[in-house]
Structure 1
Amino acid sequence: MIQPDLVELVALRGAAHDIALHARKPVLARLQGAHRSAQRGRGLEFEEVRLYTPGDDARNIDWRVTARRGQAHTKLFREERERPVWIVADLHVGLYFGSRLQLKSALLLRAAAILAWVATMDGDRLGAVISDANNQVSIFPPRSREAGVLPVLEGLVQAQPKQPGEESFNNLNKLLTTLKPLLQPGSLVLVLSDFSALDDNSETLLANISLHNDIRLIGLVDPLEYTGLPDGSYRAGLPGRLWWLDGNRTRRLWQEKWAARKKYVDDMANRLNLPVIRLDTANPVTEALPQLLREPSWQI
C-alpha cells in the first residue's frame, strides 16, 4: 500500500472546502469575529498604547511608556479571535497495518491533513503534537495559515511508521502529557488514534484537558479488526515471531475482544462527554470525513 507523501497531503486542501470545525453562525456573530463565545476561554492580544483618559482601567496603564513620555499612557487590547486547534497524532508502530484500501497510519495522515486545512481555512491557528514509531514526540506550536499547516504535514510524513515493530503502548499518554501544559484555554483538541493503548491514565489526562478545552476523538479502524479472519490458516506476527492462526476457530474470540475494546473507548467517551467518530481503512477519507464533520456533535 502507498504511504502518503507531502504532495498528497497538500493536495487534500481541496477536500477541506465547504466544511468547518465550528457551527455556522448568524450574521451578528460573523460581524463580531470568527468564533462566538462557546469557547471555554479567550485571550486578549495587545494592540496599541495611547494617552490615558478618564474612565480607562488603571490596571492597564503602561508604566514604562508613562515614565518615558511624562504622561500617563494605557494599553489597549483586542479580543483574540483565532482559536488554537491542536492535532494529536498517535502514529505508533501498530498503525502499520491495513487489510483494505489503506494502512491505518495512512488513514491518520490523510484525516489529519484535511482537519489541518479545515482549521486554517476557518481562520484558526494550527498546532500539533505527533508521536512516531519510536515513541518520540514532536511539538508544532500553533500558527496561522500555511505557516501552520506545512510544518505539521511534513512532521506527519516523517513520523509515519515504515515497517512493523514492537509496540510501546504509552504513545497516547505521552502525547497527552506533552500537550497539557501547551494548551491555551478554549483550544480545540483533535485526537487521532486507534486507542489501542487507552487506559485509566488516558482518561484522567483527557478529563483534565477537557475542563478548559474542547476535545474530539477520531478513532481509526480496519475491517479485519472487527470481523476477524476469514476461514483458513494464516501466519501472523512479527519477523522472527510468527505463528499460525485458524480463521474459523479464532473468529468468535477475536470479535469478542474487539467488542470489549470498542465498548471501553465508548464508555470512556460517554463519561467525559467527548464526541467520537470512527474512520475505516476501507473507505476513502475524502468521502467519509467531510460527512462526519457535518454531524451536530462535531459542530462547535
Structure 2
Amino acid sequence: MLFTKPAVTHHPSAAPDELISVSLKTLIDLARPAAGLTHPLSSIRAVQSGGYLSRFKGRGMEFDETRLYQPGDDLRTIDWRVTARTGKPHTKIFREERERPVFISVDDRPAMHFATRGVFKSVLAAKLAALLAWTAEHHGDRIGGQIFSEYDCRELKPQNGKQAVLHFLHALVGRPVQNQPASYAFEQILARLVKHVRPGSRVYIISDFRGINEAAEVHLSRLSEHCDVALLFVFDALEQSLPEKGRYRFTDGERDVVMDSADARRLADYRQRFTERLERLQTLARKENLQLILCGTSDDPVLRLKTLLRGQ
C-alpha cells in the first residue's frame, strides 16, 4: 500500500491538490472563520485598539502601584506625595500598554508532508497558522513567525495589519531553500526562536515535534519564562498505531520503507516512539505551564483552535 496521498473521504469539499498542498487563496479565505475565534486575552483589552496591559512592569502609560523605594530604582519615578506623607521614600510602578506580538512557528520538514487520511500534516499546520495570524490581526496584534524545514529557517519580524498577515501567508506557501549544505536539528530551531521572540509575546509552535530532546526542552523552558507558549502537536492516525495485520509500504517518492505489522516487536517499538514523544510533551507542558493541543490530520482546524483559545 502506498501512503503518499491521504484519503479524500474526510474532506469531500477539498480539491485533491489541496489535500497535499495549500494555496494562498485558501489561507486568505480563512480570514472569515478566524473572525469568529475568541481572542485569548480579549477580556483585558484596553480601550485603545490593540492595547494590552503587560504583565512586565516598567515605565509606561498605566500607573500600577506605589511601593517602598528600592536601591536601583529610577529617581524620576519617586512618588513625592507619598514620600512626604509617610516620611519614607516610595516609588511609582507602571505597566506598559502595548500591542502584543504573536509569533507563529511552523514545521515544514519532510515528515510533515505525510498523511493517510484527511490532509497532509503540512497542510493542516499551514491552515492552523493562517487562522492564528488572522485572529491576531482581527484583534490588533502584531504578527510574526518562523517557518523551518531541514535546510531552511526563516524568521518574520512581527508587524501590524493585513499586509503583515499576507507576508506571513506568502512565506507559508513558498518553498524553502533546499541547496544549503547545513541542516537544522530541532533544538537549533528552538534556539533561534528563543533569540528572535521578544518577552511578553504569545508564541504558537505547530509541529509533529520529531527530534524533541533534552536540549529542545531547555529552549522551550527558557521561552516559557517570558512568553505565553502553546504547542500544537500535529499527527496522522497511522503514527499512533499501525493496523494489526498486513505489510505496508511507505514512500516519499524516492525512498521506500516496508513495515510488517504482524511483527509484534516492531509494531510495539513503532507505537512506543509516538507514545514517548507525546508523553514527553505532556510532561513538559505540565511542568512549564504550556498549552498543548493535539491536532489530527482529519480534524477541522477551526474547531481545534476554538478548543485551544477557549482554554487561554
TM-score when normalising by structure 2: 0.74
Q: Are the counterparts in 2 of residues 220 and 278 from structure 1 also a CA contact under 8 Å?
A: yes
Match of 1:147 among 163, 170, 173: 163
Whole-Å separation in 1 of the counterparts to 2:199 and 2:59: 8
Q: Are the counterparts in 1 of residues 52 and 99 from structure 2 also a CA contact under 8 Å?
A: no
Match of 2:189 among 175, 180, 189: 175
Whole-Å separation in 2 of the counterparts to 1:244 and 1:270: 37
Q: Are the counterparts in 2 of residues 130 and 159 from structure 1 also a CA contact under 8 Å?
A: no
Count, aligned residues = 261
Whole-Å separation in 2 of the counterparts to 1:184 and 1:228: 41
Q: Are the counterparts in 1 of residues 54 and 98 from structure 2 also a CA contact under 8 Å?
A: no
Quote the offset at 1:35 in angstroms. 5.1
Q: Are the counterparts in 2 of residues 82 and 125 from structure 1 also a CA contact under 8 Å?
A: yes
Superposed CA RMSD in Å reads 3.0
Give 1:242-261 correspondences, 5 Å limit: 242-249=256-263, 250-261=266-277
Whole-Å separation in 2 of the counterparts to 1:81 and 1:120: 15
Match of 1:92 among 80, 104, 109: 109
Quote the offset at 1:266 in angstroms. 1.1
Secondary structure at the counterpart of residue 211 of structure 1: helix
Is residue 221 of structure 2 the alignment partner of residue 234 of structure 1? no
Is residue 132 of structure 2 the alignment partner of residue 132 of structure 1? no
Whole-Å separation in 1 of the counterparts to 2:59 and 2:128: 29
Is residue 223 of structure 2 the alignment partner of residue 209 of structure 1? yes
For residue 305 of structure 2, what is the aligned residue in structure 1? 289
Quote the offset at 1:38 in angstroms. 5.7
Secondary structure at the counterpart of residue 225 of structure 1: helix
Whole-Å separation in 1 of the counterparts to 2:224 and 2:117: 34
Structure 2 CA distance for partners of 1:144 and 1:42, relative to 1, 3 Å = farther
For residue 201 of structure 2, what is the aligned residue in structure 1? 187
Structure 2 CA distance for partners of 1:156 and 1:233, relative to 1, 3 Å = same
Give 1:11-50 correspondences, 5 Å limit: 11-25=29-43, 30-31=46-47, 34=50, 36-37=52-53, 39-40=55-56
Whole-Å separation in 1 of the counterparts to 2:171 and 2:244: 37
Q: Are the counterparts in 2 of residues 140 and 152 from structure 1 also a CA contact under 8 Å?
A: yes
Whole-Å separation in 2 of the counterparts to 1:11 and 1:93: 26
Secondary structure at the counterpart of residue 98 of structure 1: coil
For residue 70 of structure 1, what is the aligned residue in structure 2? none
Question: 5+ residue gaps in structure 1?
Answer: 46-56, 61-77, 163-167
Match of 1:7 among 18, 25, 28: 25
> Which whole-Å deviations, capped at 9, do the CAs of 1:170-206 have from their partners, x for residues lacking one?
1x32332222233322111111111111111111111
Whole-Å separation in 1 of the counterparts to 2:55 and 2:231: 18
Quote the offset at 1:253 in angstroms. 3.2
Quote the offset at 1:169 in angstroms. 6.5
Structure 2 CA distance for partners of 1:243 and 1:214, relative to 1, 3 Å = closer
Whole-Å separation in 1 of the counterparts to 2:142 and 2:58: 14
Q: Are the counterparts in 1 of residues 237 and 297 from structure 2 also a CA contact under 8 Å?
A: yes
Secondary structure at the counterpart of residue 25 of structure 1: helix
Is residue 307 of structure 2 the alignment partner of residue 277 of structure 1? no
Question: 5+ residue gaps in structure 2?
Answer: 1-18, 62-73, 78-94
Whole-Å separation in 1 of the counterparts to 2:283 and 2:111: 23
Match of 1:120 among 137, 153, 164: 137
Structure 2 CA distance for partners of 1:290 and 1:96, relative to 1, 3 Å = same
Identity across matched positions, percent: 29
